[in-house]
């Protein structure tokens, strides 16, 4: 296969505990503007688009939605971020996660899931990205910060 802008760079990535359940982390430096990983999944038919309860649906185009539930789709572990280091690039009906800037080893990958998803799934529970919930330094006290009452298995 010829290497193109959309050929994932084969970077070493790891699924680790993150502030929002689990996340995908860079294990090595990733330069700016390259393809980090492809978000893959099964294309749903019209019926399934309406009935699927998967949390990993990705609307590729108005007519194509894929379900990235499969464990082989490592990109599904990438969390939403309001200050993302990655961005989505849709190319020929496929979903590619591109680096928006240079990423250091140990950094969690994130991209903006978009307003619709944010309002529906993230807003109600509160966003836990680096921008909305900065790393606490010492005894950080924030009136808006709510402690999760119970641990959820991710």
DSSP conformational letter for 46 = H
Pick the binder of Zn ion from 82, 90, 94, 100 (CB under 5 A): 82
Distance CA 99, CA 35 (A): 6
For the chain, give the longest Cα–Cα distance. 53
- Tokens of residue 51, six digits: 């009935």
For Zn ion, the closer CB: 101 or 131: 131
Cβ closest to Zn ion, residue 93 vs residue 114: 114
**Nearest to Zn ion of 13, 127 (CB atom):** 127
The residue among 66 and 129 lying less far from Zn ion, judged by its C-beta, is 129
Smallest distance, Zn ion to C-beta of residue 63, A: 30
Integer CA distances (angstroms), 49 to 40, 60, 116, 129, in order = 16, 12, 16, 28
Instruction: Give min distance, CB of 94 to Zn ion, in A.
Output: 26
- Output 34 or 82, the one with its CB closest to Zn ion: 82
* Residue whose token pair is 């680790």: 16
Which of these, 153, 149, 154, 143, lies nearest to 125 by C-alpha position? 149
- Nearest approach in angstroms of CB 46 to Zn ion is 32
Query: CA-to-CA distance for 77 and 15, rounded, in angstroms?
Result: 7
Quick note: the x/- pattern for Zn ion over 107-136, rule CB under 5 A, is: --------------------x-x-xx----
Shortest distance (Å) from residue 93 CB to Zn ion: 29
Closest CA to 98 of 16, 8, 15, 29: 8
For Zn ion, the binding residues (CB under 5 A) are 82, 127, 129, 131-132
């Amino acid at each position: 296969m010829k290497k193109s802008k959309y050929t994932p760079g084969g970077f070493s990535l790891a699924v680790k505990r993150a502030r929002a359940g689990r996340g995908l982390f860079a294990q090595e430096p990733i330069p700016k503007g390259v393809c980090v990983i492809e978000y893959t999944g099964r294309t749903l038919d019209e019926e399934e688009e309406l009935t699927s309860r998967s949390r990993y649906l990705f609307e590729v185009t108005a007519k194509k939605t894929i379900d990235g539930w499969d464990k082989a789709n490592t990109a599904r572990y990438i969390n939403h971020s309001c200050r993302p280091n990655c961005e989505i690039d849709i190319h020929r009906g496929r979903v590619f996660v591109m680096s928006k800037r240079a990423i250091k080893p140990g950094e969690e990958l994130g991209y903006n899931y978009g307003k619709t998803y944010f309002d529906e799934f993230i807003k109600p529970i509160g966003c836990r990205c680096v921008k909305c919930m900065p790393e606490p330094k010492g005894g950080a006290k924030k009136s808006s910060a709510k402690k999760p009452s119970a641990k959820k298995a991710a």
